[in-house]
Amino acid sequence: MIKGKKEVLSRLMGVTGFHRVMKTAHSGHLTIFNYHRIKDDSPNFKTDFDDEVFGPSVSQLEEQLKWLKRNTTVISEDELLESLRKKTRLPKHATMVTFDDGYVDNFTHALPVLSALRIPAIFYIPAQVMNDRSLGWWDHISYLLKKTHKSEILLRGIRLRLSDCRERAGQPLFEVMKLQSFQETSSLVEELSQVCEVPIASHDICSSQLMTWDHLRSAIKQGITIGSHSNTHRVLATLPLATQLEELRSSKYTLENTLSISVKTLAYPIGGYEHFSIETMDMAKQLGYEAAFTFTNEINDLDAIHPFWIRRISPPENLLLFQGAISWPQVFIKRRTDLKEPQLSRQV
Ligand SMILES: [Zn+2]
């Protein structure tokens, strides 16, 4: 169903009270929202980086969280873990709010709204990225494609046309990058920089897009929970097992020691089923993580939550579509098409 039709349907559902009826029908679900970046409210909002990781604007986020507070039970990490430990059922209409990657607008734009509404949230942080002040390949690719004077780019047989919409032009390259090794993504970004005839974004430019450790300390004081998003944000399934173990161990250690906290949960980088493995889940458990989150654009059945396979969805910007995602997920949530669900052959 196309977006416009979904909005009309959601509006009709609100007017007729159907949202209420459907919400009752779906009370056995835990819906977890995975935000990345929050836009400012300017109608002419523009970024030099990846547009796709930007979700709602500040005022859209405020509307969404107010609606969640009125219509659902927004639970914290502790409440989720307690329910998993004791095998107790979560409240009806349970929801959670999470932010990945450590972008600065999580602090400047989202935190004031979360604090004012007293909504619990988890920030998932790639620890080494905080120290290196580096950005992911998706931001570097977008930056280079937006800055180049060229109207078409040919990179290793992939043709990118830049004349129409530069914001989405990098998509074919993004799909290739998701399952490449770190060395390969780095050399592809360097090659792209040469083809575009644009220098890679400087350390200071990259750093300005990220929270600092002081931002994180302040966020913790305001009630935010910090979780691990690996150490370097490399795709875990592309790494040897010993390197995966080190990713999960170092991240937990650095976050705990730098911030004087206990890190209990993990969000797998990129988060599709092919981006982590049963071995990843095993190692996370051995290292003391109590749960881990995917990003597969699916909701959780309250009677079948696997602690190391907890599903999250991308929040639609539009409030009507956001409401629809909770009230009638089968219609309003578009499952990621790049998923190949693994068979769990044994209990992790
Ligand atoms: Zn991420």
100 Cα to the center of ligand 1, angstroms: 5
Contact 285, 244 (CB under 8 A): no
Q: For 229, list phi and psi in degrees, rounded to 5.
A: -120, 40
270 Cα to the center of ligand 1, angstroms: 5
pLDDT of residue 168: 77
Contact 27, 94 (CB under 8 A): no
Q: Is pLDDT of 27 > 70?
A: no
Q: pLDDT class for 49, splitting at 50, 70, 90?
A: very high
Beta strand 54-57 with 37-39: parallel, antiparallel or unpaired?
Answer: parallel
53 Cα to the center of ligand 1, angstroms: 9
Rounded-to-integer distance, Cα 228 and Cα 155, Å: 33
For 255, how many CA atoms within 13 A lie in the half-sphere containing its CB?
30
Given this structure, which CATH class describes domain 3-134+212-332?
alpha beta
pLDDT of residue 23: 54
pLDDT of residue 338: 54
Rounded-to-integer distance, Cα 306 and Cα 151, Å: 47
For 134, the 3-state DSSP assignment is coil
Q: For 304, list phi and psi in degrees, rounded to 5.
A: -145, 55
Within the chain, residue ranges assigned H as helices are: 3-16, 18-25, 58-71, 77-86, 105, 111-117, 127-132, 137-147, 171-177, 182-196, 203-207, 213-221, 241-259, 278-286, 319-327, 329-332
pLDDT of residue 265: 98
303 Cα to the center of ligand 1, angstroms: 27
What type of residue sits at position 86? K
Rounded-to-integer distance, Cα 20 and Cα 14, Å: 8
Provide mean pLDDT across the span 231-255: 95
33 Cα to the center of ligand 1, angstroms: 14
Q: Is pLDDT of 99 > 80?
A: yes
16 Cα to the center of ligand 1, angstroms: 38
Q: Is pLDDT of 346 > 90?
A: no
Rounded-to-integer distance, Cα 310 and Cα 330, Å: 18
319 Cα to the center of ligand 1, angstroms: 24
Q: Which tokens in the block code for residue 316?
A: 């639609």
| Burial zone of 182 (CB within 10 Å; 0-12 exposed, 13-18 middle, 19+ buried) | middle
pLDDT of residue 13: 55
12 Cα to the center of ligand 1, angstroms: 35
124 Cα to the center of ligand 1, angstroms: 8
5 Cα to the center of ligand 1, angstroms: 31
Rounded-to-integer distance, Cα 250 and Cα 333, Å: 34
Quick: pLDDT tens for 258-277.
Answer: 999 999 999 999 998 889 99
17 Cα to the center of ligand 1, angstroms: 37
230 Cα to the center of ligand 1, angstroms: 9
pLDDT of residue 184: 87
Q: Is pLDDT of 115 > 60?
A: yes
126 Cα to the center of ligand 1, angstroms: 8
**All residues at 6 or more sequence positions from 45 whose CB lies less than 8 Å from its CB, including other chains:** 39, 54, 57
Q: Is pLDDT of 257 > 80?
A: yes
Q: Taking the model in full, what pTM does it have?
A: 0.88
Provide mean pLDDT across the span 77-83: 97
- The Cα diameter of the chain in Å comes to 59
For 333, the 3-state DSSP assignment is coil
190 Cα to the center of ligand 1, angstroms: 21
Q: Is pLDDT of 344 > 90?
A: no
320 Cα to the center of ligand 1, angstroms: 26
Q: Is pLDDT of 343 > 60?
A: no
pLDDT of residue 206: 97
Q: pLDDT class for 345, splitting at 50, 70, 90?
A: very low
269 Cα to the center of ligand 1, angstroms: 5
Quick: pLDDT tens for 299-333.
Answer: 999 988 999 999 999 999 989 889 988 887 777 67
Read off the DSSP letter of residue 99: E
Quick: pLDDT tens for 189-201.
Answer: 999 999 999 999 9
228 Cα to the center of ligand 1, angstroms: 10
233 Cα to the center of ligand 1, angstroms: 6
312 Cα to the center of ligand 1, angstroms: 13
18 Cα to the center of ligand 1, angstroms: 35
88 Cα to the center of ligand 1, angstroms: 30
Q: Where are the domains of the chain?
A: 3-134+212-332, 137-200
290 Cα to the center of ligand 1, angstroms: 19
